[in-house]
Homo-oligomer: A and B are copies of this chain.
């Protein structure tokens, strides 16, 4: 835990610090990545968890369009660059120890590559797991 986060722990509501100071103190992992949770700004639905580098975070803040780091492709991933299912950043938050981001977003189309609204469509129910969301397939794509 760095000094900044310790100082903020007991700071009153409304306390301000420069964003650049926070950005410099974020605790990216040894792989240079920070987990980022995307949540719909309107309904509060959790859409996905993805990963950000310093560069993808800086681009997201600069453009307002969410850019992650794709671990599988090992490159910047402008969400929706192929599907059109982009995320516009509405609000960015960091957690108490600076090792996770929460992005409140406006989501175009389904967030998940399966065409379901959220990636969290597998719900545990007793001894089973159940597919719990319908796919939103664009009729023009079929």
Contact = CB atoms under 8 A, between A and B. Distances in A.
Contacts of A35: 35, 49
A75 interface: no
Nearest to A48: B95
Interface string A105-134: 000000011101001111111111111111
Interface of A: 8-22, 35, 37, 39, 43-46, 48-49, 61, 91-97, 100, 102, 112-114, 116, 119-135
Nearest to A93: B120
B46 A37 contact: yes
24 contacts: A8-B114, A8-B122, A13-B131, A13-B132, A13-B133, A13-B134, A17-B129, A19-B127, A19-B129, A20-B127, A21-B129, A22-B124, A35-B35, A35-B49, A37-B49, A44-B44, A46-B102, A49-B95, A49-B100, A91-B123, A92-B123, A95-B121, A96-B112, A96-B122
